[in-house]
Chains A and B, each alone.
Chain A
Amino acid sequence: MNGEAAACVNIVETLSSCLVAGGMAPGLASFIQTLMGVVLVSAFPLVLVIFLIWVERKVAARVQDRVGPNRVGPYGLLQSFADAIKLILKEDIIPAGADRLIFNVAPIIAVLSVLLIWAVIPFSPVHIGADLSIGLLYFVSVSSIGALAIMMAGWASNNKYALLGAFRVVAQLVSYEVPMVVSLLVPVLIVGSLSMQTIVRAQIGMWFIVPGLLSAIIFYISNLAETGRAPFDLIEAESELVAGYNIEYSGMKFGLFMANEFMHAFTVNVLFAVIFLGGWSGPGAEQFPLLGFLYLLAKTALVYVFSLILRATVPRVRIDQMMSFNWKFLVPLSIVNLLVIALLLQVTRALGIAPAPGETDFLANLPQALVLLAGNLVIIAGTLAILRNSGRRERLAEQTVVTSRAIVPVGSGD
């Protein structure tokens, strides 16, 4: 028994040796093993999404002083299953002018773009789909395929609302990718690696939300926009777009888009937990990898529920407000943040207070983290001061306009 336990390198590593022992060709056995790994890793979010929809509806209901789903199963837990069955049984309608192949492929690519991200998410010290040396870059590049799927869906539907919705979504996704990627560079600078496991290991001593507070905030905000969550849910602005890029989709194809949206929202929160909240790291996680998995889920739940409450409480912004918020605020801020952090990192390394690579002690990581945190706070304070001044100037300008309007008629009447 001990030998078997030692042989377990990751989830499915031992399967192939067992199959070979049963008389199967080694090549086929390793292929089946890889396939099982792929199925396992991609089935997890697909099963999870059924419950995520329930969680989201329950949280939204509580915020709005309702009960939420409560008829099917205990606490309405089986409501999503009923909805899924309904979606599968629904008639599959393809509009007459649609480009059939692209119309049918688009939902698959949309789901694929999210499922592929799960390949590089480290669940525990030993359980990861593939610890790529470019893990973080892989996440960025794979999630950029999602915009393509939406574009295909909007165009192939042959519907002007779908096309308009797709334009809007793609503009939003492409724009908010810029601050997201730039803010991701800060943890990469601190670690010096793009591999997800290395990033998590570097956080055993200190979570990156401390030295990279501002980039964590920027990453969180741009992820809200990337996943089309309120206050950036212009993707589904019913009053302007009827329904958005998926207007012509029905049945399970629409279900795939919906599942994709919920999965994406959850996946980016998992990534937030991995990159800024230390992923699986926690007391005892190295000895008991399963504990690391629970830590990851707990950290994810924290930020995920926060995003759900945010979604249920904030109003939707206008499209021009959203765009200028991104290009005139988030992008410059993230670039300034990156420059300052890069400078401070070099300063701490020159002063010798930077921790040695792979240092897992909290106190050894503290000086550098505090210096970086101070840099973050200075940037935040500066930004707030600038915002306050420009806001005051705008209000003053409005007031003078209002008063001059009020005065002029009186003066002209004299």
Chain B
Amino acid sequence: MLELNATTLAFFVFAILSLGGALGVVTSSNLIHGALYLILSLFGGAGFFVLLSAPFMAAVQVLVYIGAIAILIIFAVMLTRSMTRMTEVYNRQWWLSALVGTLLLLMLALGVIFPVWGEGGMLPNQPVSNEVATTEALGVAFVSGDQFVLPFEISSLLLTGAMIGAIVLARDTEAS
């Protein structure tokens, strides 16, 4: 069933990277190590995008998540000195996060199982789509009126709002 070729090998390497990294995030008591494990996990995700012929998504994953968000997380952890040497692994809300995590995992698993192996599902070795979209097509889809222009604009508005909010929060109130 499983063909052993370069793509399969790459898939398993990326799977180990993302799952191992994710495991490292939740088990390491040193928050910096946790953030670095997160980067490893995100890098595995970028690898998956490459395997799925979505190079744009892979590059954006590396640029936004590793190059910006992960560095921001590391910055935040380093600037709050007491957080770099934490000894407790669990906090009081551990059961809540476990519940949410399990529910999310169930939802994702169901979302994969039913379309693929359920009634009228496609065969596992059948490609989802034969069309390989180009970066150009993605760009057009973001701004064309009959596709995703509204979600795109709303999310950019949301990001702008978040940025202004962050500036307002971070501004020195005494100076003004």
Pairing of A with B: yes
A156 to B, closest residue via Cβ: B32
B56 to A, closest residue via Cβ: A134
Residues of B within 8 A of A99 (CB): 32
B75 at the binding interface (Cβ < 8 Å): yes
The minimal Cβ–Cβ distance linking A117 to chain B, given in whole angstroms, is 13
A151 to B, closest residue via Cβ: B74
From the candidates A140, A142, A194, name the one contacting B135 in the complex (CB within 8 A). A194
Q: Check A148–B75 contact: CB distance below 8 A.
A: no
- The A interface is mostly helix, strand or loop, or mixed, namely helix
Q: What is the bound-complex CA distance between A152 and B32, given in angstroms? A: 9
Q: List 14 A-B contacts (CB under 8 A).
A: A102-B33, A132-B55, A134-B135, A141-B60, A144-B68, A145-B66, A148-B39, A148-B67, A148-B70, A152-B36, A170-B75, A174-B68, A192-B136, A194-B135
Q: Check B78–A137 contact: CB distance below 8 A.
A: no
A147 to B, closest residue via Cβ: B71
How many A-B residue pairs lie within 8 Å, measured between CB atoms?
A: 66
Q: What is the bound-complex CA distance between A137 and B71, given in angstroms? A: 19
Chain A residues within CB distance 8 Å of chain B: 27, 31, 99, 102, 132-134, 137-138, 140-142, 144-145, 147-148, 151-152, 155, 163, 167, 170, 174, 177, 192-194
Q: What is the bound-complex CA distance between A145 and B74, given in angstroms? A: 13
Q: Check A148–B66 contact: CB distance below 8 A.
A: yes
- Name 14 extra pairs, CB < 8 A, besides A144-B62, A155-B74: A134-B56, A141-B67, A144-B68, A147-B67, A147-B71, A148-B74, A151-B75, A155-B78, A163-B78, A167-B75, A167-B78, A174-B68, A174-B71, A193-B136
Q: Please name the 3 residue pairs, one residue from A and one from B, whose CB atoms are nearest each other, closest first.
A: A144-B67, A141-B63, A141-B62
Q: Check B63–A140 contact: CB distance below 8 A.
A: yes
A148 to B, closest residue via Cβ: B71
Q: Mark B138-163, 1 if CB is under 8 A from A, else 0.
A: 00000000000000000000000000
The minimal Cβ–Cβ distance linking B59 to chain A, given in whole angstroms, is 4
Q: What is the bound-complex CA distance between A102 and B74, given in angstroms? A: 14
A195 to B, closest residue via Cβ: B135
The minimal Cβ–Cβ distance linking A168 to chain B, given in whole angstroms, is 12
Q: What is the bound-complex CA distance between A133 and B136, given in angstroms? A: 10
Residues of A within 8 A of B59 (CB): 134, 137-138, 140-141
The minimal Cβ–Cβ distance linking B30 to chain A, given in whole angstroms, is 8
Residues of A within 8 A of B70 (CB): 148
B134 at the binding interface (Cβ < 8 Å): yes
Residues of B within 8 A of A170 (CB): 71, 75
The minimal Cβ–Cβ distance linking B80 to chain A, given in whole angstroms, is 14
Residues of A within 8 A of B74 (CB): 148, 151, 155
- The B interface is mostly helix, strand or loop, or mixed, namely helix
Residues of A within 8 A of B56 (CB): 133-134, 137
Q: Check B36–A144 contact: CB distance below 8 A.
A: no
The minimal Cβ–Cβ distance linking B71 to chain A, given in whole angstroms, is 6
Q: Check A134–B67 contact: CB distance below 8 A.
A: no
Within 8 A of A (CB), among B68-88: 68, 70-71, 74-75, 78
Q: What is the bound-complex CA distance between A170 and B135, given in angstroms? A: 30
The minimal Cβ–Cβ distance linking B130 to chain A, given in whole angstroms, is 18
Q: Check A133–B55 contact: CB distance below 8 A.
A: yes
Q: Mark B30-63, 1 if CB is under 8 A from A, else 0.
A: 0011001001000000000000000110011011
The minimal Cβ–Cβ distance linking B39 to chain A, given in whole angstroms, is 7
Residues of B within 8 A of A145 (CB): 62, 66-67
Q: Check A151–B71 contact: CB distance below 8 A.
A: yes
A181 to B, closest residue via Cβ: B63
B5 to A, closest residue via Cβ: A27
B30 to A, closest residue via Cβ: A99
Residues of B within 8 A of A167 (CB): 75, 78
Residues of B within 8 A of A163 (CB): 78
The minimal Cβ–Cβ distance linking A349 to chain B, given in whole angstroms, is 16
Q: What is the bound-complex CA distance between A170 and B72, given in angstroms? A: 10
Residues of A within 8 A of B33 (CB): 102
A171 to B, closest residue via Cβ: B75
Q: What is the bound-complex CA distance between A141 and B60, given in angstroms? A: 7
Residue from A27, A142, A145 whose CB has the most chain B CB atoms within 10 Å: A145
With A151-B71, A155-B32, A170-B75: A137-B39 Cβ-Cβ less than 8 Å = no
B61 to A, closest residue via Cβ: A141
A34 to B, closest residue via Cβ: B6
Residues of A within 8 A of B135 (CB): 133-134, 137, 194
Residues of A within 8 A of B68 (CB): 144, 174
From the candidates A134, A147, A151, A155, name the one contacting B55 in the complex (CB within 8 A). A134
The minimal Cβ–Cβ distance linking B85 to chain A, given in whole angstroms, is 12
The minimal Cβ–Cβ distance linking B163 to chain A, given in whole angstroms, is 12
Residue from A137, A152, A174, A193 whose CB has the most chain B CB atoms within 10 Å: A137
With A144-B68, A155-B32, A194-B135: A137-B75 Cβ-Cβ less than 8 Å = no
Q: What is the bound-complex CA distance between A140 and B67, given in angstroms? A: 9
Residues of B within 8 A of A137 (CB): 56, 59-60, 63, 135
The minimal Cβ–Cβ distance linking B143 to chain A, given in whole angstroms, is 12
Q: Check A133–B134 contact: CB distance below 8 A.
A: yes
Q: What is the bound-complex CA distance between A142 and B75, given in angstroms? A: 20
